[in-house]
Amino acid sequence: MTDQITIGLARMHYEFGERRDFLPNFVAMLGKLNAKVVLEYGYGSGMKFTEEDYLNHDQKITFVSHEEVYKQDYVLVLRCPSEDDLRLLKPGACIISMMHYPTRPNRVALLRSLEVESISLDSIKDDVGRRLVENLRMVAWNGLEVGFRVLLRTYPSPGVESPQRNPIQVTVLGVGAVGMHAVQAASHYGDMSLWNSMAKRGVPGIQVTALEYDLTRNEDYMKEILTKTDILVDSTQRPNASQAVIPNEWIAYMPEHAVLVDLSVDPYDCSVENREVKGIEGIPQGNLDQFVFAPDDPAFERIPECVSTVHRRYSVSCYSWPGIHPKECMDLYGKQIGPLIRTLLNKGAPGKINPKGKFFERALSRALLSNYEATNLT
């Protein structure tokens, strides 16, 4: 690596609706750590930030091409770049991103072949195993916010906002890290201001029923629950994703106005060896361009044929729920990543991170590709 560490911040060239980039104050913090910071042309433009907005915080920032960003010592980008982009990295460089090592063996192999180090943001954990860079709260709150927005339109007379209606019934499948936030979000309409306004007007609240996916083996019981569910949330983390938690035919038990909320964002895969199906069978996979699907949306027709889509309800699904509110999301990530980057740059190189060092060093060490490989080779 060169004397002055260089760090490139790349844009995320995914769906059009992906607007997230790190905020100017975060980028300025990197400059203060004596790193040479380069940003890709157009950085921040999805959130209406201009080059001047970044330069006002730090005049030494430079704007370069997409390819040039990937030539730096460190490359920081929230969502993992495509394979083509990863191939732009120089040997010895370090990519910092959500790499998801355990579920992306091909990506791990590619990085190794490129002789690139990486730090997976989703693997940075403290001594008791808590992720230090995560936004599971926004996954749940944003998904439920959208779910309730749809329910406001579909709910029958007298309507969601009527003091005369019965309590809204939300069923949450899976009570892991996302599920716990989902219960909290659901009981507040996914939107604190809406909750406040409803509470002030004396509108009955929300009853949330949470169950582990194991309970769904009992069809009679599930039928009883589904017939009275207004919003069904999938926040399961299944060890075996080849079986749906809610088979498509069970959706028929639900009221016509019901909304299905997909927080697990598992994909569909019809291949025999890797068969995967969403927790709720037959709902489309959304992204930041489209995350609301009416029952007659053409997206249902694009679901692989091995998946039944006969029974449909309004569905909300998004691969990147936190991206719905990009500034809030990146503000949080900036605060979480700040002390980690500070530690990393102060050490000078990923190889100098001591697994038995101080708190943030230990946390970073757990996320290094080289350590992941070591752990998985033994």
Partner 1 sequence: MNIPKTIGLPRMRNETGEKRVFLPEFVQYIASLGVNVFIEEGYGARSGYSFEDYKLASPIIHMASKEKAYQQDVVLILRSPKPDELKLMKPGGILFSMLHFHTRPLRVKRLLDAKIKAVSMDSIVNDVNIRLMENMRSVAWNGLEAAFDVLEKRWPGLVRPDKKPIQVLILGTGMVGKYAIDAAAKLGNIERNNDHIEAGGPGAIAISVGRNLSTNPTTMESLFNQADIMVDATQRRDSSKPVVPNEWIAWLPEHAVVVDLAVDPYTLDAEPPVVRGVEGIPQGNLDQYIFAADDSNWDKTIPPSVNSKNRRTSVTCYSWPGVHPEACMLHYAQQLEPFIEILFKKGYDGLSLEGDYFDRALYRATLKYFLDEQKLLV
Q: Please, which residue, 75 or 363, has the CB nearer to partner 1?
A: 363
CA triplet 146, 152, 153: central angle to 5 degrees?
A: 100
User: Closest distance between partner 1 and the C-beta of residue 231, in Å?
Assistant: 13
Q: Which residues bind partner 1 (CB under 8 A)?
A: 126-128, 167, 175-176, 179-181, 183-184, 187-188, 195, 198-199, 203-212, 214-215, 218, 221, 332, 335, 338-339, 342, 358-360
Q: Please, which residue, 45 or 207, has the CB nearer to partner 1?
A: 207
Q: Please, which residue, 91 or 129, has the CB nearer to partner 1?
A: 129
User: Closest distance between partner 1 and the C-beta of residue 206, in Å?
Assistant: 7
Q: In what order do the strands lie in the sheet with 62-64?
A: 62-64, 36-40, 6-9, 74-79, 94-98, 117-120
Distance separating alpha carbons of residues 196 and 342, to the nearest angstrom: 39
User: Closest distance between partner 1 and the C-beta of residue 335, in Å?
Assistant: 5
Q: Are 117 and 108 in contact (CB under 8 A)?
A: no
Q: Are 233 and 171 in contact (CB under 8 A)?
A: yes
Q: Please, which residue, 39 or 198, has the CB nearer to partner 1?
A: 198
Q: Which residues pair with 276 in a beta bridge?
A: 269
Q: Please, which residue, 174 or 284, has the CB nearer to partner 1?
A: 174
User: Closest distance between partner 1 and the C-beta of residue 326, in Å?
Assistant: 17
User: Closest distance between partner 1 and the C-beta of residue 95, in Å?
Assistant: 24
Q: Please, which residue, 188 or 313, has the CB nearer to partner 1?
A: 188
User: Closest distance between partner 1 and the C-beta of residue 222, in Å?
Assistant: 11
Burial level of 133, CB count in 10 A (0-12/13-18/19+)?
buried
Q: Are 84 and 107 in contact (CB under 8 A)?
A: no
Check residue 353 and give left, alpha or beta (phi > 0: left; psi -120 to 50: alpha): beta
